[in-house]
Amino acid sequence: MASPKTSADPPSAPLSDPLAVAVLNSLSAHIAIIDADGIILQTNHAWRAYARRNQLRGSADAVGTNYLAVCDATRGRDAEDAHRVAAGIREVIEGRRLEFLHAYPCHGPGGQHWYYMRAIRMAGEGPVRVVVSHEDITALKRTEEALRVREAELEEQKQSLEEANIALKVLLKQRETDKAELERKVLANLKELVFPYLEKLKAAALRPREKTMVEIVDTHLRDIISPFLQQMANAGILLTPQELQVAQLVKDGKTTKEIASLLHVAESTVSFHRKNLRVKFGLQGRRANLRAHLMSLG
């Protein structure tokens, strides 16, 4: 909606004080002072410069033009904004509102522009005077549009990152599942294909040095393949090497007598270790099964 065009002889200006006129002309907004009928009484330098720059018909100062009539007569794409402005100014003139504010586009051959229009009654006694100002907010609108575009880009990036995060979580979960499955397979194969032969070797008539080597292999294999040992370490449960051996054999379902035979220790020693294990796992005084607890660890 462009500034109104002139169509009448100018009446006397409402501002004659040089300081007031200087202040009015120093403002960047396009300002017009109208009377109760909507007639433009005075405009400032910014208004006149806009009229000349855009080659508006009539006098550049537009004094004598009926601002409201121009708004009422507007047709086309600017009609809705112009009619709304006219209605708002009339409400200010009639005292039904203190001020009227409206932002509107004003695009032309020179590019897209937006303005912020404000109408407010002048203070003091005397005839009604309304100050109508149009401030160019094109830079602000473009900044807002750039921010909206940036926000949309950030939202799109956020969505993409969330989707990537979900995909990564799925992959990590699958990796943990695959890892657990691999551990189960390795453990099952060792128990079925390796440990039975180790048990036969330990029961065979071996020389002491050979027997010791077989026991070392057996112990190390069990340490390597026992997932629950790492969980116990992560939980801060500190077990002695022999307690680890006893825990693994209990988990495998061995009886106290069988464990004593395998480790070449007394049954009382195994019972002692079993008791310590219950204490360290917080099972003392409870009817919880030690083997079931160890199996729950992994």
> Phi and psi for 201 in degrees, rounded to 5?
-65, -40
- Residue with the bigger pLDDT between 238 and 248: it is 248
What pLDDT score does 248 carry? 83
Confidence at residue 7, expressed as pLDDT on a 0 to 100 scale: 40
**Residue 57: CB atoms within 10 Å:** 8
Cα maximum dimension of the chain: 130
CB–CB of 298/231 below 8 Å? yes
Nearest to 32 by CA among 13, 18, 19, 17: 13
The model's pLDDT over 167-213, given as tens digits with 9 standing for 90+, comes to: 999 988 888 878 767 766 766 677 667 877 778 887 888 888 888 88
pLDDT digits over 99-156, tens only?
999 998 877 667 788 889 999 998 888 899 999 999 988 888 889 889 999 999 999 9
Q: At residue 13, does pLDDT exceed 90? A: no
Q: Please report where in the chains the tokens 């590019």 appear, as a residue.
A: 111
Instruction: Give me the pLDDT at residue 281, please.
Output: 82
Q: What is the pTM of this model?
A: 0.48
Which of 144, 35, 10, 11 lies closest to 92, judged by CA?
A: 35
Strand locations in the chain, DSSP E?
A: 30-34, 40-43, 99-105, 114-121, 130-136
Name beta bridge partners: 115: 104, 136
Q: CA 138, CA 136: separation in Å to the nearest integer? A: 6
Closest C-alpha to 24, from 43, 41, 49, 4 = 43
Match 């008791």 to its residue by tokens: 275
Distance CA 86, CA 104 (A): 13
Per-residue model confidence (pLDDT) at position 188 = 65
Stretch 255-266: mean pLDDT: 90
> Model confidence at 267, in pLDDT bands (50, 70, 90)?
very high
Q: In what side-by-side order are the strands of the sheet with 99-105?
A: 40-43, 30-34, 130-136, 114-121, 99-105
Q: In the chain, what are the domains?
A: 18-136 (3.30.450.20)
SS3 218: helix
Whether the CB-CB separation of 127 and 36 falls below 8 Å is answered with yes
Cα separation, 81 vs 101, in Å, equals: 12
pLDDT score recorded for residue 283: 85
CA distances from 277 to 32, 65, 280, 283, 298 (A): 93, 100, 5, 8, 16
If 0-12 CB within 10 Å is exposed, 13-18 middle and 19+ buried, where does residue 249 land?
Answer: buried
Q: pLDDT higher for 170 or 221?
A: 170
Tokens of 175: 């990796």
Distance CA 81, CA 83 (A): 6
3: which DSSP letter? Answer: P
36 vs 110, more confident: 36
Separation CA 218–CA 251 (nearest Å): 15
